[in-house]
Structure formats: C-alpha cells, structure tokens
Amino acid sequence: MTRAAREPRRGAHAAARKDDVIQIRASAETKAILNRAALLRGQKLSEFMLDSARRRAEETILDQRSFFLAPDAHERFLAMLDAPAKPTKKLRTRMSRKPSWER
C-alpha cells in the first residue's frame, strides 16, 4: 500500500513531533497478531500499536469521570438512581422512532 493511501487513516496526533520512546516486550504470538493487524491497516507496526494504545487510553480516561457533591446532594442523587422516574409517553414515542441516520 502506498504512503498516500495510508495518510487518511492516521490520526491528527500522527503529525506531532515524536521524541519519547516506549519499549515493550511481547510474545511471538502477540507480535504476529499485531503485525497482521498493522498490515491490514496499511501501517507500520509501531504506528498501529501507538494508534491503538492511544485510542484505548482516551476511552479509559473518558470512562473515568469524577464529580463531587455536597452530602445532601449526594443523598438526593443516590435516591434518584434507586428510584428512576417512569418514562413519559413523549419519551417512549421518541425512543421508538427510527434514528435519523437510518432514515
């Protein structure tokens, strides 16, 4: 695959200067799987690994949102979680519609 064909698959972070080194050890089986996946994407092994690891890291960080509440607000929040409001007719109607990307 040509370099031009690979360009659209790279993330915006690919053009940033890379001056730090990350080293890892892997079994031959793991390396073979990673090499195969990189080849299918038209990427070098290091590009594929870095893109994949970065995506997973961003997902992990986004999944770990923290927020803080005063004790009384925390109790009200827990009560809402324990006894959610029943869906309204308007909500049930909206949830039964086909999404705009499927129309």
Higher pLDDT, 100 or 80: 80
Give the pLDDT band of residue 81 (cuts 50, 70, 90): very high
For the entire predicted model, the pTM comes to 0.49
Number of folded domains in the chain?
1
**Residue-range definition of the domain harbouring residue 35:** 3-102
pLDDT tens by residue, 47-64: 999 999 999 999 999 888
33-54 core/surface letters (b: 16 or more CB in 10 A; e: else): ebeeebeebbbeeebbbbbeee
Is 7 a residue whose pLDDT tops 80? no
| CA distances (Å), origin 86, targets 50, 75, 76 | 45, 20, 17
| pLDDT mean across residues, the chain | 86
